[in-house]
Amino acid sequence: MRIRSLTPVLVPLLAAGALGLSACGGDDDTSSSAESTPSEFDLEVVALDGIKWEKDEYSVAAGDITAALRNNSSLPHNLHFIDADGVENPTILDAPSRGDVDSGDYQLEAGTYTLICSIPGHSNMKATLTVN
């Protein structure tokens, strides 16, 4: 009888203790290692499901950069750089399938650029790139 009366109290306490211990584990190690892992790219633009970029705004230092398009979407995507005067950079990145990564080298002067995907129906995929 006594065990039965303690069960409603012990079960939530044990569950809370287990949850607390699991929160103290490897999550901190995973996030800190991800933050400390340097990217091989100066700029990485990620396409997501929902026909959108991961971010609306990006920034890089002026000069020679290596940019990448990573496709985390089920649809094909491309990446065009357009300067403030509407001039498109001739290097276009293409990632036709989920998991694809395409990269290229760019010489970017300081200013503001628009990043777009030119595939029909993807017109809402616009982001601003600030080059300092």
Which of helix, strand or coil describes residue 14?
helix
**DSSP of 21-32:** HHHTSTHHHHHH
- Quick: pLDDT tens for 43-101: 999 999 999 999 999 999 999 999 999 999 999 999 999 999 999 999 999 999 999 99
* Cα(71)–Cα(132) distance, integer angstroms: 26
Question: Where do the domains of the chain lie?
Answer: 2-35, 41-131
Q: pLDDT band at 40, cuts 50/70/90? A: confident
Task: Quote the CA–CA distance of 93 and 25 in Å, as a whole number.
Answer: 39
Give dist(CA 68, CA 16) in Å, integer. 43
In sequence order, what are the beta bridge partners of 44? 68
* Homologous superfamily in CATH for domain 41-131: Cupredoxins -  blue copper proteins (2.60.40.420)
Q: What is the pTM of this model?
A: 0.70
